[in-house]
Amino acid sequence: MQLSRIAALAAVAGALSLAACTGSSSGTVANVSGNTANVRIVNGAPGQGSFDIYFQAVGGALPSSPVATTLAYGTATDFLTQPAIGENLIAQQAGTASPGASGRATLSCPLPQFSINAKYSVVIVNNAGTLDCELFQDFDYNASTQYRAHNATTSASALAASAGFGTIPSASAPPGTPFTVQAVGPRGNLVGTSGAPTSYTAAQPNSIPGFSGSITFAVGNATSGTTPALATLDSRYIFQPNGTTQPNTTGALNFTGSAGTSIFAIDCTGATVATNVPCSGGVALVGYTDRL
């Protein structure tokens, strides 16, 4: 999307109602208070390199300073504090000039207005050859040992538009292992080329049945009952934000200092996304520790 379109889209984004994305004010990540929201960016676009990330307030000047740099494929930022307003997310190829200097962005996504103290995940995706953003609102964890499931695949994926997520009570269960569906995850809303969408896809917390040690997260195409996993991820191999460090060597959840775990199904190519994070049938599960 060209930056020349931002002005035309700004009125649309600015007019979106807060009621479309109201979130709880309790349990905020990073102890944020005031008229702010928490926004995480995930690079889920295989083959597109790394990005420098910027935010532009609707009607504001083009930004010159990134909020995150060199966001590699498969990785996520931490939750970033942003004003509870409508903004444009701008992604530049890592190391290139800022949009304020170059006048042209690799990707620009007008985002629906954020709610105060709410949490959001914006996933950069390669949608049929066009970079786009998939939008999720992350609702608060309300118990111990929970995860939030995000279906951030595209129509090119072998994963259905509404996928089933669950857990397997053993370490490193391979794709094809049966699991019981615990949560249904519709794909995130795409910004697309017709203007900002009016809502975010909800990512609710899901409890993990009793277990000890490492477990396996799973995703498949059924939305109820027992189904074979299309892709899996051992809990020892969830990432910390801002890279591919896998700190949870025991696999026990929640990892020290975290409130829960966010799981994303993303498109992939090749054999792996990172060490111990396989690509299976064009789908990978990646996970991130969520801080208190």
- Structural domain boundaries of the chain? 3-291
Q: Which amino acid is present at 146?
A: Q
| Separation between Cα atoms, residue 18 and residue 224, nearest integer Å | 32
Pairing state of beta strands 119-127 and 36-43?
A: parallel
CA distances from 86 to 25, 89, 112, 117, 197 (A): 19, 10, 6, 14, 12
Predicted pLDDT at 198: 78
Predicted pLDDT at 263: 98
Positions in the chain short of pLDDT 70: 1-34, 103, 193-195, 292
Predicted pLDDT at 291: 87
Give me the sign of the Cα torsion angle 30, 35, 36, 37.
positive
Beta-carbon neighbour count of residue 123 at 10 Å?
Answer: 26
- Name the E strands within 221-282: 226-228, 231-234, 258-267, 272-274, 277-278
In DSSP notation, 98-115 reads: -HHHHS--SEEEEEPPPP
pLDDT in tens, 92-121: 999 999 998 876 789 999 999 999 999 999
Q: What would you report as the CA-atom Rg of the chain, rounded to the nearest whole angstrom? A: 18
Element (H, E) at 284: strand 283-291
pTM for the whole structure:
0.87
Predicted pLDDT at 24: 32
Predicted pLDDT at 194: 59
User: Which ranges constitute the DSSP H helices of the chain?
Assistant: 6-15, 99-102
Predicted pLDDT at 195: 67
